[in-house]
Structure formats: C-alpha cells, structure tokens
Structure 1
Amino acid sequence: MGRQYGIFARFTLSYDFTFLAILSMAFQKTAPDFSKIRCLINPLKKCSACRQNGVTERIASQAMITLYHKCRDQLLDENWLARLPVSLSFPFVRWCWQKARQKEPQYDCFAADMMQNQQLAESRLSGPDPAAEPTAHFLSQICETLSDDPDQKRVLARFGYLLGRYIYLSDALDDLEKDAKKHRFNPFLQRYTVSELKSVSYSPAVESIHGTIAELEKAFSLLNLNDWQPIAENIVYYGLKQSLQNILRKKEKIA
C-alpha cells in the first residue's frame, strides 16, 4: 500500500483486506515472494513480508476504494466533531481513490452500489437480515472473482456472502450501545431496546451471528486453498468466534 499510495496509506490496512489477500493468493498458480523488511513503526526490527505481483497491488487498490466510500459515508452521518478527522484526511483519501479506481473500476462500482443499497436499507429501518444484505452481496461479488474454476467460484460467492453478513452483524452488535446513544441506525434496535437485549445476553444477535458462522464454515470446507489452508482455517474456525467473544466480553465490562 505504501508503494502505491504513500506511507500514510499503510496505517489504513485492516484485517479484512489482509484476509482477502490471503484468499486471493491461495488461488494463484505461482507462489508469492517472502522477504524480511523493516517495520514501519520500529525500523530497528525486521519482520516477515509476503508479496505477490498483481495480488497485493489489487488488494491495496481495493482497500483504498473502500476507505474512500466509508469516509464519504462518515462525512454524511457523523456530527461535526466526529467528522473533523475524516474531513482533514479526506483530500488524501480522495487522491488515493482517484488513482485506485483507474486500476479497479469494477470494484469501485461494486462498492458504490453497496453504499447506496446500504443507505436505502437503513432509510427503511430494516432488520438484521435485509440490513446485512448489501455488505453480504458486495463480498459475494468480490470473492467470486478470486478463482477461475467454476466450482470454486460458486463456493467463493457463498463464502463471501456469509463473510460479509458476519462482518456487518458483528459490527452492528459491537456498536449497539453507541448507536442507541447517538440515535443512529442499528438493525438490532429495530425490534429490541438495548435493555431488552442486555437482559437476554444479546441472544437474538448472538444466535444470528453463530448461525452465520456455522454456514460460513460449511462453505469454507469446500474451498481448496492449498498451502494457505492452515492460516485460513485458523481465521475461520477460531478467529471469527474469538472476535465475537471479544465483543461480548467488552459489553460485560461496560454493563
């Protein structure tokens, strides 16, 4: 990301796009390059890096496009104080987006459609299932493009759909109290109050997310990720559940 979009772009990298890079490299016919590089935060320390021509560049562009659309959404939704950091960084983000969309025009269209559909779902005060649909459909489209094999493409589309659903619902659960306090949309608050959800240990949200993880694991078991299988298994079988538990533990501390 730093090579293409400048040193500050490196600080925007998320686990979501790291995982997407892993998935993408798993379906390449050539092996990636591994090397030791200086840590950006601590230049005295060397760390392992993995790079594959075409893949890492594409994922970096997609990450910057996604960041741009999220920043645009934040500029519309947040109060002026919350908008201030986004407003200050937006010229840089917009410059990155203009460069990235030339390389990934289809991804930019997918991302723009997702944001538009998300705004529509929220304006209709949708519940968890329809509210999660735009993100789920978006990741389904993206993951489907990672392989040329017809069978794997179908599985990837299903896997991406469920991964997008998991990400959206987990974020909604994590932001529950904050959204209620700021009177912002949250799909779980369309049927329940925060107090009602707390009284049942957030079970409607947790059960929905657990069901999504179970279906996601079934789809994942049909993927052939070659040498990347162990890393991906650790993320899917352990990381997703652990992330949910971290959200619930955080809520216990603030209860």
Structure 2
Amino acid sequence: MFGYVTANEPELKVKDYHKYKAYYCGLCQSLKRQYGSAGQLTLAYDMTFVIILLTSLYESETKAESHRCKMHPLKPQPMLENEITEYAADMNLIMAYYHLEDDWKDEKKVAGLLGSMALKRKVEKAIRKYPRQSRVIREEMAKLSEYESQGIQEVDYPAGCFGRLMEEMMVYKEDCWEQQLRGIGFYLGKYIYIMDAYEDLDKDLEKGTYNPLKKMHEEAGYEERCRDILCMMIGECARNFEILPCVLDVDILRNILYDGVWKHYRKIQEKKSEEKEDDKESL
C-alpha cells in the first residue's frame, strides 16, 4: 500500500505510541519468519491499522516478545504478534506480489519483474491459504490496470477497484461484522487510491503519465472537490468503524482514522502554500 493509513504519533499517549510500534515490529517479524528478507521488503504501516482493528474486534490473544533486527541490531525491540499478524503478513505479501506483477506487465518495470519473481514461490502458499481474498485482489488489480491503460478519467472507477480489494482483505471472518468491515475496507481503499493520485498529480502532469484526476484538475473548484471526496471516504470509514464493539486500543484506531490519515494531505497543503509564497516573492 501507500503509507497513508498511519497514526499521528505525536498525538498518541506514550503507552499507545509504544504499542503501535510493537504491532508494526510484530508484522515485520512475522514477514521475516514466514517469507524471509524478501517478505520484509513489502512491509507497510497501512497494514498495522488492519492488525490493530481486527485484534481489537476479535480480541485475539496476543504474544509480547522482544527481538533484535537489522534496523535495531543492538537493542531488542518490543513486538506484538497474534493470528491476525500472520493474516496481515499474508495479505501484505499477496498485494505486493500482484502489484509488482502488474508493474511488469503494464510498464515493463524491471523492478516489477525481479520483485514478482523473488516473491512468486513464497506467495503461492498464501494464495492457496486465502483463495477468496487472493481471487478478488488479482481480479481487481487486473481491472485497475485496464482502467489505467485506457486513461479513464472518472476517478470512481479505478478507486473502486482498490476499494473492493481492500474490502475483501479486511474480511478476516465472514461473520456478523462482515458488513461493517467491508464498509471500512471499501472506503479506506478508495481514499488511499485517490489520495495517492492527488499527491502525484503534479509529477504525473510533468511526466505525462496516467492520473485519474487530470480532467478534474482542469475544472473550477478542483481543490475543494478533492477535499470533499476524501472527507466523504473517511467519513464512511468512521461511520462503519463506530458500529464495531472495539474497546482494546480504540484510542490508537481513532487517532489513525480521525487524524493520522490526513498527515500527507496536510503536508501537501503546506508545500503548496510555500510554493505560492515563493512565487509571490519572485514577482
């Protein structure tokens, strides 16, 4: 994923900050144990939210350990792991594999070819273990690739693909909470895709590469429309989240959903404001 679903760490209580980091390090450890160093390269903070949410919902028994790693070779790092961590590691690898595979097929990126080859044998076990999620991720990634190759400018179409694959991934169990988890996953996935397009627009305009917001960018009220869409996506995520009976780590989850997801957006706005000031000074 893209690193948009993270906590606003300075606003977390100290104990919650350390717990958030421990879940992240636990995911890294699980990826290493199951898939080696290649698996660790797929590590993303976004998946930490999934772990904390599902752990809170299902009250999974969590094991606390400490391990040294390449990033912290001298001091053992606290790590939290449970069955959800292993599930998230599998989903992380599956998503990374299909993304790299599409990079090679669509853009002939050598990194995509080498990355998908490195993960191919490792990911086969996860695909067999989770056929429902794997099928939807594969199909939606293929559909997304088709929309992008066609240059589709209705952002809802490609964003919907990412929403549906996130929706399927969020459903750890098909039970009474499935509807709410699907709602969170779908709108969070759309938010991630649109936020990524919003952040990359200037670069894509300069390079002439695909971006589903190019047409909207030419119209009046572009900034306001983008913010309204992003707010709507997170609003729907939050609405579904608040229905769930989550108590454990709920402060961390709310920090992510109500604040952390906006970190990149705020940075983009700050950058744009600075550029406007520089332009004024150069006149």
TM-score, normalised relative to structure 1: 0.86
Task: Determine the structure 2 residue equivalent to 1:173.
Answer: 198
Cα offset, 1:212, TM superposition: 1.7
- The equivalent of 1:224 in structure 2 is 245
1:254 is displaced (CA, Å) by 6.0
Amino acid at match of 1:244: Y
Cα distance, 1:228–1:206 mapped onto 2, change above 3 Å: same
Q: Is the 8 A contact 1:27 1:147 kept in 2?
A: no
Q: 1:71 to 1:104 in 2, by over 3 A?
A: same
Distance in structure 2 (CA, Å) of the matches to 1:130 and 1:8: 32
The CA deviation at 1:153 is 1.8
Structure 1 residue 60 and structure 2 residue 89: aligned?
yes
Contact 2:159 2:194 in 1 (8 A): yes
1:101 counterpart = 2:101: no
**Amino acid of the structure 1 residue aligned with 2:232:** G
Q: Tell which has more relative contact order, 1 or 2 (C-alpha 8 A, sep 6+).
A: 2
Residue 51 (structure 1) shift? 0.5
| 41, 45, 52: which one aligns with 1:15 | 45
User: C-alpha separation between the residues in 2 aligned to 1:29 and 1:148?
Assistant: 16
Check conservation: 1:114, 1:138, Cα contact below 8 A: yes
Q: Is 2:57 aligned against 1:27?
A: yes
Q: Counterparts in 2 of 1:44-193, with a 5 A limit?
A: 44-52=74-82, 54-78=83-107, 83-122=109-148, 123=150, 125-143=152-170, 145-147=171-173, 149-150=175-176, 152-193=177-218
In structure 1, how many angstroms separate the alpha carbons of the residues matched to 2:182 and 2:135? Answer: 18
CA contact (8 A) 2:153 2:214 kept: no
Measure, in 1, the Cα distance between the counterparts of 2:89 and 2:116: 18
Per the alignment, in what secondary structure is the counterpart of residue 244 of structure 2? Answer: coil
DSSP-derived class of the 1:226 partner: coil
Hey, what's the Cα distance between the residues in 2 that align with 1:41 and 1:34? 19
Unaligned runs of 5+ in 1: none
Aligned-pair RMSD on alpha carbons?
2.3
> Any conservation in 1 of the 2:38–2:118 contact (CA below 8 Å)?
no
Task: Tell me, yes or no, if structure 1 residue 205 matches structure 2 residue 226.
Answer: yes
Structure 2 unaligned blocks of 5 or more: 1-30, 277-283
Q: In 2 relative to 1, CA 254–88 (structure 1 residues): closer, same or farther, beyond 3 Å?
A: farther
Identical aligned residues as a percent: 26
Q: Aligned letter for 2:251?
A: P
What's the counterpart of residue 10 of structure 2? none
The answer for the alignment partner of 2:3 in structure 1 is none
Rounded Cα–Cα distance in structure 1 between residues aligned with 2:105 and 2:174: 38
Q: Distance in 1 between matches of 2:69 and 2:246?
A: 28
TM-score, structure 2 normalization: 0.78
Q: Is the 8 A contact 1:147 1:153 kept in 2?
A: yes
- When the two structures are aligned, how many residues end up with a matched partner? 245
Which has the higher mean CA deviation after the structures are superposed, 242-251 or 29-38? 242-251
Deviations 1:126-156 (Å, cap 9, x if unpaired)?
Answer: 312222111112222222x235542x22111
Q: Secondary structure at the match of 2:210?
A: coil
